[in-house]
Every structure is written in C-alpha cells, then in structure tokens.
Amino acid sequence: MTTHLDKPIKLVMIVRDPRGIMSSRYLPAMDWCRDDTTCAEIDMLCDHHITLVRYEDLSLNAIETAKRLYNKLDLHFNADIESWIESHTNDTTKLGNPYSTVRKSKSAVFSWVKRLNATQIDTIQEKCTGVMDYLGYNIIDIKNLQEFR
C-alpha cells in the first residue's frame, strides 16, 4: 500500500512583486479594496507575514529560534516548551532511529560536510546558488573544504 508519504513533497509558492500588488489595488475595479483602509497600507503588505526558519538555526539555537517563532506567531512561550525543546535537542544517547524526535541537534547540522564529497557539494552549490543565496547560506570554496571538515 502506498501513501502520500511515499511521494516526494512538492511545494509551489507564488509570490508577486509588492509594486505589482499595490498597482493592482489602486485600479478603479478594486472597489472592495477602497473601503478597506488596510488594503492601501503598504506597511501591511510587507509586514513579513512569512517567517523563515532555517533547520540549521533551529538546531544550533533551538530555544532562541523557538522564542522568535512563537513571538512572531503571537504564541506564548513558556517553561514547559523550553524544557521539551531542551530534552529533545540535547540528548547524548546514540539512537538508531533517524526519525526520532530526540537527538543532539547540534551534531547533525553540518554532517553533510563529511558525508558528501567535493564534487557532490560543488554540483549542489552550482545548481542551488540562487536559493542558497536567498536563504542566507554561504557557498563553500571547494579548495578550502578541509577547513570545514
């Protein structure tokens, strides 16, 4: 039996230049928008409704990243949540289950540097330069790969 989990996840997020959005909102045909004061507020348009959480940030600074995320989502971060994060990200027990939610998160973050060879890293960086740049990841100079290992 196959399930949706057996298939790769594909996500499409359509974005639009804020200038184009506001230009459309200023059109006479946008009567519904004219009565809504927030519709014309540029600050509301670019109020960072999307929050980016990088796996590496969460793994290296789990509590601080979680606090920022909870704050952004207007949720209350409390001691129970902090305790759960601590217990699930700082475990030193070596578990054989790669899908376990309990692990020493900091040790997994850059394990790819040791698992991938220089050619693989170079190919990935070449094909994903735009995304990596957008997400704030630095490109590794393959000539200096040993410094990262």
Sorting pLDDT into bands at 50, 70 and 90, what band is 136? confident
Q: How far is CA 136 from CA 10, 31, 57, 133, 139, in A?
A: 22, 40, 11, 5, 10
Q: Which residues pair with 104 in a beta bridge?
A: 90
Per-residue pLDDT averaged across 5-13, rounded? Answer: 70
pLDDT attached to residue 112: 83
pLDDT attached to residue 131: 83
pLDDT attached to residue 53: 85
- Nearest Cα neighbor of 141 from 128, 115, 124, 122 is 122
pLDDT attached to residue 32: 62
Is pLDDT larger for residue 2 or for residue 25? 25
Instruction: Please tell me the pTM assigned to this model.
Output: 0.59
pLDDT attached to residue 66: 94
CB-based contact 91:98 (threshold 8 Å) = no
Neighbours of 24 (CB within 10 A): 12
| Distance in angstroms (rounded) separating the CA atoms of residues 68 and 136 | 18
Contacts of residue 125, Cβ cutoff 8 Å, sequence gap at least 6:
132, 139, 140
Is pLDDT larger for residue 1 or for residue 114? 114
Please write the tens of the pLDDT for every residue from 48-82: 667 778 888 988 999 999 999 999 888 899 999 99
| Distance in angstroms (rounded) separating the CA atoms of residues 76 and 94 | 32
Please write the tens of the pLDDT for every residue from 82-125: 999 998 887 655 555 554 555 566 667 777 888 888 889 889 99
Sorting pLDDT into bands at 50, 70 and 90, what band is 140? confident
- How buried is residue 60: exposed, middle or buried, by Cβ count under 10 Å (0-12/13-18/19+)? middle
